[in-house]
Structure 1
Amino acid sequence: MTSLPEDPFALISEDDRDAAVNRLQEAYAQGDISHQEMDERLHRVLTLTTQGDLVSAMASLPVEKPPTTSTIATAGGWIRRRGAWRVPRILKVESAYGKVNLDLSRAVIEHPVVDIELQLPYGRARITVPRDAIVDIEDLHSGWKDPRYKPRRRSRSGGPRIRISGAMGYGRLRIRHAWR
């Protein structure tokens, strides 16, 4: 349940409004509210002006679950994940000198969006994504070599969105789609 604001007549900020819109979209994506209910609440959130109105518009939404985050770290050597492993919502991978091999092709992906944050100053990485995945590498910074990724020409909808961010120093990232 949402707590009452200190001053229900205070005006809401654009950040408050954006957070409410994001929360409604997440509730819809998780199946907590219908499309029609999301549209109605979005219209209400976009037109209201006070904190009290915002709290009442967001009431009755289920409690927001914190995203699951896991960190895999090593100073050197290999980081490997393959087969049927459970992919967290946010995966942080840190390796000073090692190699990273993440195979998501047979992994259990429970979230529509998975964020993979790479911190590899001298290591290299290879990521295999599911056949129908959509990959976003816009927030990945590479110092030496650009990532190698060739998007699929024909991608079926419904696959997870894999967002890869972070920093690659002197290594290279290779991303490929699984064959099956």
Structure 2
Amino acid sequence: MTSLPQDPPSAISEDDRETAVQRLQGAYTEGHISHEEMVERLHQALTAKTHSELATALASLPEQNAGTTSTIAAVSGRIQRRGAWRVPRILRVESALGRVHLDLSRAVIEHPVVDIELRLGTGRASITVPRDAIVDVEGLRTGWKDPLYKTRRRSRPRGPRIRISGTMGLGRLKIRHARLSRADIAIATREP
């Protein structure tokens, strides 16, 4: 009898590794694991090559905090977030008829990766991301027009990764990077 070839184990991404490190650090901070156990598990997570090896490092940890996922929903009207608001790890935005505006330029982003899941019917949507953010729109399906987004040219990506996924019906998504404020320009142009 011939055995079927098995799929090779899938390699983990840097995002997966960063999320695992954050979970381990959080578990230590909350007192779920000792310092020695955290150090050992961090080593496992940082040297893991496959998802099963990474899962071993995370075994027996408490489930992720439910506060890391949030949903904003409206049937019609405007959904808007701006200023210094705390961005959850996963943000679901659902709107049948209204406009959506998310401004993350001054938001508190505590996660290296933020997933924004859009479920939009009609209406426009705009998302302003931090200047140094990395944006991924590969998981977004649009029914009418492609998103308007111009990738920034930069030498070193240092900001959070913003992954935008979901579906949009008849609206259009516009994504832009935040501009420098006057204070930032003044600091950047000062001579040493």
TM-score normalised according to structure 1 size: 0.72
What is the correspondence of 1:4-83 to structure 2 with a 5 Å cutoff?
A: 25=17, 26-29=19-22, 32=25, 37-38=43-44, 42=48, 58=57, 62-66=61-65, 68-83=68-83
- Return closer, same or farther for 1:147/1:42 CA change in 2, 3 Å cut-off: same
Match of 1:138 in 2: 138
Query: How far off is 1:31 after superposition?
Result: 6.4
- SS in structure 2 of the partner of residue 139 of structure 1: strand
User: 5+ residue gaps in structure 1?
Assistant: 1-12, 49-53
Query: How far off is 1:62 after superposition?
Result: 4.8
Query: Using the alignment, how far apart are the partners of 1:141 and 1:165 within structure 2?
Result: 7
Contact 1:27-1:61 at 8 Å conserved across structures: no
Match of 1:148 in 2: 148
Match of 1:169 in 2: 169
- Return closer, same or farther for 1:162/1:39 CA change in 2, 3 Å cut-off: closer
- SS in structure 1 of the partner of residue 111 of structure 2: coil
Match of 1:86 in 2: 86
Query: Using the alignment, how far apart are the partners of 2:50 and 2:172 within structure 1?
Result: 47
Contact 1:142-1:167 at 8 Å conserved across structures: yes
- SS in structure 2 of the partner of residue 171 of structure 1: coil
Amino acid at match of 1:150: K
Query: Using the alignment, how far apart are the partners of 1:143 and 1:27 within structure 2?
Result: 35
Query: Using the alignment, how far apart are the partners of 2:138 and 2:81 within structure 1?
Result: 23
C-alpha RMSD over aligned residues: 3.5
Moved more, 32-41 or 113-122: 32-41
Query: How far off is 1:155 after superposition?
Result: 5.4
| Matched pairs, number | 158
Contact 2:133-2:162 at 8 Å conserved across structures: yes
- Return closer, same or farther for 1:158/1:38 CA change in 2, 3 Å cut-off: farther
Higher helix share: 2
User: 5+ residue gaps in structure 2?
Assistant: 1-5, 26-37, 181-192
Query: Using the alignment, how far apart are the partners of 1:60 and 1:114 within structure 2?
Result: 23
- Return closer, same or farther for 1:41/1:100 CA change in 2, 3 Å cut-off: same
- Return closer, same or farther for 1:156/1:75 CA change in 2, 3 Å cut-off: same
Runs in 1 of length 4+ with deviation above 4 angstroms? 33-36, 43-46, 59-62
Query: Using the alignment, how far apart are the partners of 1:154 and 1:86 within structure 2?
Result: 26
- SS in structure 1 of the partner of residue 138 of structure 2: coil
